[in-house]
Chain A
Amino acid sequence: MRDLFVAMFREEWRIHAVLFGDAVFALLPVLVGAMAFMGTFLVPLVNRALPAGDLASIVHALYLLLGVMVGGFGLVGNEVMNRRFGQASFVAYAARTLPLSERQIFSAFVAKDTVYYLLFWVLPVVAGVAVASPFVGLPPGAVLCLLVSLPLSFLSGLSGLFLVTTVWSRSRAAFAVLAAVAVIAAGASVRATGGIPPFPPLALYRSFSWAVLAGTGIGIGAGFGVSLLLFEPRSPGGEHRHPDRFTGLLRRLHALPYPALTARDLLDLWRSGGGVGQVLFSLVLPLGLCWFLLSLLGPVLPPYGVLTLFSVLAGVLASTIYTWLTAFDSPGAYACLPVAPGDLIRSKLGLFALLHPVPAAIVLGAAVLSGNGPYAAPALGLMLGVSAWSAGIMVYLAGLSPNLLVYDPRVLFTYLFAVGLPAAGLIVLDLLDPWSGLAALLLVVPAVLAVRAAVHRWEEAEIFLS
């Protein structure tokens, strides 16, 4: 097992090193750390408007969210090993010839992914804060606490979603029971303590305690352990049969420009374990967390401010629907067909647009439930504009492989800059006048231009060889 973990770890590095170069890939944690370093200098400024405790809550909630975003292993089971890099992930493939069970191989894969995220995304932030802390008067004790609490926040989200998605995949009834138990436990806890109980890693940051550390560690370990026990390996010999759904979909989608490609993507999404699960765990749950996180800012924002920020974040998250549509697709599958890369991009964007009633409903629901119903239209405009622009940039930078965003620092930072700048401008405008959110719809124009440029760019690339 240990050897397998080490081999997978090395292989992961080499896959990225071949794609981006050793130095560029190694630069990723350095850049993450540098951003944290610079961000730390803003802490005294932010603290003028926001209490330090709330800022810590936000940072921890962000890392909980990151864990949630990457923890959906249970949704696709061991298919995730093929999904990440296909046959480039040779160790995951070749390990099946060794005297190891699918469960052991999968466990090594999950451990490798977890350690990678910790090393590339979590610990560099702590390092950046640590280096900057003497300049902003952050006590060394706080940095030490962050070194423990931030990774635990990330691991809580990851193991929590791993558990939830595994239970979901095994039994919808068990999932309903688990959800009911969680809601009842949260309700009982609120009643007993008179408020929302502190998130354990955050409690550790505020006041370190060995007991809380042990409890959190046991909870996270139990999440991983139960998930791996419940994990159901999909043996290569199993046969899943389905009646023909393609013909009916093709008929219904005939008005679209690429009905066959769109029907195929829809079936991929539905049968891959995605569908409802994907919507629930990649959109509803993270957006729920976002709402909770943003509601902490309520006291320092105008009445509609939380909805403004939520709509922008919903737009960014909604743009990741494009990644759902590429996750199971290999451009090589079209090598023998009269299909151009541009056709694939356009067909996926068509389905991307078709699926947008889902985030639109979430934003409308948030507007109405938060008492901001009158501002539902600009909130919707914000979400749609930001989503269109983010997706346009994503398609331009990464084509049919949006997972490049996470691993290539050049692509990632270009994306963050291109999306962050207009998003920040829109937030400022919207906080000044809530109706200016409608202006975000203008982003659809540069988004269309970005897609046109993307089609031209990726038509030139030899994507069918990937």
Chain B
Amino acid sequence: MALVIEAEGLSKRYGETVAVDSLDLAVPGGALFGLLGPNGSGKSTTIRMLTGQAKPSAGRARVLGVDVAADPVGVRRLVGIIPEQETPPSFLTAAEYLRFVSAVRDFAGGEKAAQWWFDFLDFGDKRDVLCKDLSRGTRQKLMFAQAFLHSPRLALIDEPLVNFDPIVQHQVKEFLVEYVKRGNTVFLSTHILEVAEEICTGYAVLHRGRLLATGRPDELREGGRHLSDVFLDLVRRERGHA
């Protein structure tokens, strides 16, 4: 499959702090790719750079063939994004927010798609509630719906499951697996290794902004080891070197 994300030497510095350090990534289409790493490892910054929210300090990246630095809006038009913090506008209702997203994306099928998401994630009773009054879990459902509303070929989702109860987590994991089977790609950032182990078809492990390992599950989990053991070994080894 052709690559949907290509990054070469992608770096981000905030003053003296190096958030992401010379990251090389190649994500093939049709993958459910997990970006793993402890807190503060640079996962969210990587997603922000790949979606044109943050400018790389060095290196380059192409997402669906679009240079993220040259055309950040173009990238965001093509992909679906769930940001790290759920931030729907306070004074729109849930239904109005999805209409707003459809209008901004110039997506004609928004009404039908929104109804599907209200039904699928079972929050249709909240459609007329102002976003600021929604629980974190419901806001996260809404962010999930907006990211997939226009059925993007690629979705970059940052810790999408943390606010969901186990039932919704299960539903969402099944959805993601099915979504990828239809030929789409999901780039999932998470530190919940069980989720990654369960559904991802490829991984990259980040620590302190540096790529420690990347590959398919069978490559990383040599000898049938648990992903968590592989992850801990990698991170401890890196810390030992530091």
Contacts and interface: CB of A to CB of B under 8 A. Distances in A.
B93 A241 contact: yes
Contact of B85 (A263, A271, A332, A462): A332
A93 interface: no
Contacts of A339: 73, 76, 104
Contacts of A267: 91-92, 96
Interface string B87-101: 111111101100111
B83 A336 contact: yes
B87 A337 contact: no
A268 B55 CA distance: 30
B104 A238 contact: no
B76 A338 contact: yes
A346 interface: no
A126 B104 CA distance: 51
Q: How large is the interface on B (under 10, 10 to 19, 20 to 34, 35 or more residues)?
A: 35 or more
Contacts of B70: none
Interface stretch (A104-112, A137-145, A242-250, A419-427): A242-250
A261 interface: yes
A462 B54 contact: yes
B143 interface: yes
Given A238-B133, A335-B87, A464 B53 contact: yes
B10 interface: no
A246 B100 contact: yes
A452 interface: no
Nearest to A264: B100
A337 B54 CA distance: 14
B234 to A, nearest CB: 28
A346 to B, nearest CB: 13
B13 interface: no
A336 B76 contact: yes
Contact of A239 (B77, B83, B92, B129): B129
Contact of A240 (B99, B103, B129): B129
Nearest to A238: B133
Interface in B48-62: 48, 51, 53-55
A244 B104 contact: no
Interface in B23-71: 48, 51, 53-55
A195 B208 CA distance: 73
B147 interface: yes
Contact of A260 (B74, B77, B104, B146): B104
Given A260-B104, A264-B100, A336 B133 contact: no
Interface in B125-165: 128-130, 133, 143, 146-147
Nearest to A339: B104
A340 B92 CA distance: 20
Contacts of B143: 336
A243 B85 CA distance: 26
Contact of B133 (A239, A247, A272): A239
A336 B80 CA distance: 7
Interface in A304-355: 328-330, 332-333, 335-340
B95 to A, nearest CB: 6
B3 to A, nearest CB: 22
A336 B146 CA distance: 9
Contacts of A268: 89-92
Given A464-B53, A465-B53, A337 B104 contact: yes
B206 interface: no
Given A267-B92, A340-B73, A259 B128 contact: no
- Determine which residue in A236, A243, A335, A340 has the highest number of CB atoms from chain B within 10 A of its CB, and name it: A335
Q: How large is the interface on A (under 10, 10 to 19, 20 to 34, 35 or more residues)?
A: 35 or more
A329 to B, nearest CB: 7
Contacts of A236: 133
Nearest to A274: B91
B65 to A, nearest CB: 16
A465 B44 CA distance: 11
B53 A330 contact: no
B130 to A, nearest CB: 5
Interface string A228-241: 00000000101111
B204 interface: no
Interface in A244-282: 244-247, 250, 259-261, 263-264, 267-268, 270-272
A62 B104 CA distance: 43
A241 B48 CA distance: 33
A67 B191 CA distance: 49
A337 B96 contact: no
Given A335-B87, A339-B104, A242 B76 contact: no
A90 B187 CA distance: 31
A337 B91 contact: no
- Determine which residue in A246, A330, A336, A465 has the highest number of CB atoms from chain B within 10 A of its CB, and name it: A336
B85 to A, nearest CB: 7
Given A329-B89, A333-B88, A338 B53 contact: no
Contacts of A270: 91
Contacts of B81: 335-336
A169 to B, nearest CB: 15
Nearest to A246: B96
Nearest to B147: A336
B142 to A, nearest CB: 11
Given A240-B129, A250-B103, A267-B91, 14 more contacts: A239-B130, A242-B130, A244-B95, A244-B99, A259-B103, A260-B103, A261-B104, A264-B100, A268-B92, A271-B91, A271-B130, A332-B85, A337-B101, A339-B104
Interface of A: 236, 238-247, 250, 259-261, 263-264, 267-268, 270-272, 328-330, 332-333, 335-340, 462, 464-465
28 contacts: A236-B133, A239-B133, A242-B93, A244-B99, A246-B96, A250-B99, A259-B103, A267-B92, A267-B96, A268-B89, A271-B91, A271-B130, A272-B91, A332-B85, A332-B87, A333-B88, A335-B51, A336-B80, A336-B82, A336-B147, A337-B101, A337-B104, A337-B105, A338-B74, A338-B76, A338-B105, A462-B54, A462-B55
